[in-house]
């Protein structure tokens, strides 16, 4: 069912000023580039992601996310995907007093990140972990196959659950439009595929690699590389074939899929459609 707020704000266009709405959060969530507040806007709770446009690296991430969300809004108006966070719009404003420019994205409000869910629940609800993996695969397959978008930063803290525990993929700051590469490659070190370390390659298969690491986070729940202390070493080791250690979990049904997803050779990794089909058959 479409809510009132959606009707008014889709597709993504310049919104009216968002900074003055009633803020529900004293403790906002902090990302590397943003602060996310929950606010009341036209009687709806929304999540407002605010980014400083004065800082050059943040401005680049903001512009990248805006380009991708604009693109997504065109697809999502026609064919809504439940597992991609909905963006209602954005606004850019100068906070006149201090020459500070802020950009804000208005998103549908989700409940908790998958990383927090895992921390709180561990293995208490195994079917839920399968559901999280499957729904993430559905969302990613949709991004790859219908939108030609690579997410670029898949990890448990960029996945959220809504009040009904449905997965919502968030954070398009490092996403790539495969039809118009604007070359902002980033990501989170533990999830970066070897070819991305080596030549900045960002393809659907680099997302598949990150998805393999996510499976380890969900189903093994051990530290990824406890013995590696620096990013330089991580890069060297991963490029030489090192992966999170699931040796002790040799009977785990997800092991094979992890190995396939994080294969050193991107060509040998399955695509997200194949991953989705496998997970649905479990």
Ligand X SMILES: Nc1ncnc2c1ncn2[C@@H]1O[C@H](COP(=O)(O)OP(=O)(O)OP(=O)(O)O)[C@@H](O)[C@H]1O
* Residues labelled as active-site residues: 153
Question: Among 4, 17, 23, 32, which residue interacts with ligand X (rule: CB under 6 A)?
Answer: 32
Question: Does 210 participate in binding Mg ion (rule CB under 5 A)?
Answer: no
Residues 36-55, interacting with ligand X (CB under 6 A)? 36, 47, 49
Segment contacting Mg ion by CB under 5 A, of 17-25, 27-35, 100-108, 188-196: 27-35
Judge whether 269 and 261 are in contact, CB under 8 Å: yes
* 86-117 exposure pattern, b = at least 16 Cβ within 10 A, e = fewer: bbbbbbbbeeeeeeeebbbbbbbbbeebbeeb
Question: Does 31 participate in binding ligand X (rule CB under 6 A)?
Answer: yes
Nearest to 143 by CA among 158, 164, 128, 127: 158
Residue with smaller CB distance to Mg ion, 171 or 217: 171
Identify the DSSP state of 248.
G
Residue with smaller CB distance to ligand X, 157 or 245: 157
Question: Does 187 participate in binding ligand X (rule CB under 6 A)?
Answer: no
Question: Does 177 participate in binding ligand X (rule CB under 6 A)?
Answer: no
Tokens in use for 226? 């406890």
Question: Among 170, 220, 257, 272, which residue interacts with ligand X (rule: CB under 6 A)?
Answer: 170
Residue with smaller CB distance to ligand X, 143 or 254: 143
Segment contacting ligand X by CB under 6 A, of 30-38, 220-228, 249-257, 260-268: 30-38
Segment contacting Mg ion by CB under 5 A, of 84-92, 168-176, 204-212, 258-266: 168-176
* Widest pairwise Cα distance in the chain: 61
Alpha helices in the chain (DSSP H): 4-9, 56-78, 114-121, 126-147, 194-199, 204-219, 231-239, 255-261, 272-280
Tokens in use for 155? 């990890």
Q: Which residue is nearest to ligand X (CB)?
A: 31
Question: Can you tell me whether residue 25 is helix, strand or coil?
Answer: coil
Question: Does 171 participate in binding ligand X (rule CB under 6 A)?
Answer: yes
Q: Determine how β-strand 176-177 pairs with β-strand 44-52.
A: unpaired
Interface ranges with ligand X (CB under 6 A): 29, 31-34, 36, 47, 49, 85, 107-110, 113, 157-158, 160, 170-171, 173
């Amino acid at each position: 069912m479409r809510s009132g707020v959606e009707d008014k704000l889709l597709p993504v266009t310049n919104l009216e000023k968002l900074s003055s709405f009633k803020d529900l959060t004293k403790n906002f969530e902090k990302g590397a580039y943003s602060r996310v507040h929950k606010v009341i806007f036209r009687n709806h709770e929304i999540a407002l992601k605010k980014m400083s446009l004065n800082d050059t690296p943040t401005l680049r991430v903001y512009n990248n996310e805006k380009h991708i969300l604009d693109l997504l809004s065109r697809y999502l108006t026609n064919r809504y995907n439940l597992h991609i966070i909905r963006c209602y719009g954005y606004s850019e404003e100068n906070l006149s007093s201090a020459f500070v420019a802020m950009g804000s994205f208005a998103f549908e409000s989700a409940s908790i990140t998958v990383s927090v869910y895992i921390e709180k629940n561990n293995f208490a609800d195994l079917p839920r972990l399968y559901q999280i993996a499957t729904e993430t695969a559905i969302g990613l397959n949709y991004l790859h196959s219908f939108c030609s978008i690579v997410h670029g930063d898949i990890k448990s803290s960029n996945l959220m659950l809504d009040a009904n525990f449905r997965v919502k993929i968030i954070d398009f700051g490092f996403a790539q439009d495969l039809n118009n590469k604007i070359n902002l490659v980033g990501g989170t070190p533990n999830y970066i595929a070897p070819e991305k370390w080596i030549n900045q390659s960002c393809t659907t298969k680099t997302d598949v690699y990150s998805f393999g690491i996510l499976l380890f986070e969900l189903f093994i729940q051990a530290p990824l590389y406890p013995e590696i202390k620096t990013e330089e070493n991580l890069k060297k080791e991963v490029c030489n074939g090192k992966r999170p250690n699931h040796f002790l979990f040799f009977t785990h049904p997800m092991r094979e899929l992890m190995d396939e997803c994080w294969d050193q050779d991107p060509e040998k990794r399955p695509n997200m459609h194949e991953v989705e089909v496998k997970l649905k058959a479990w």
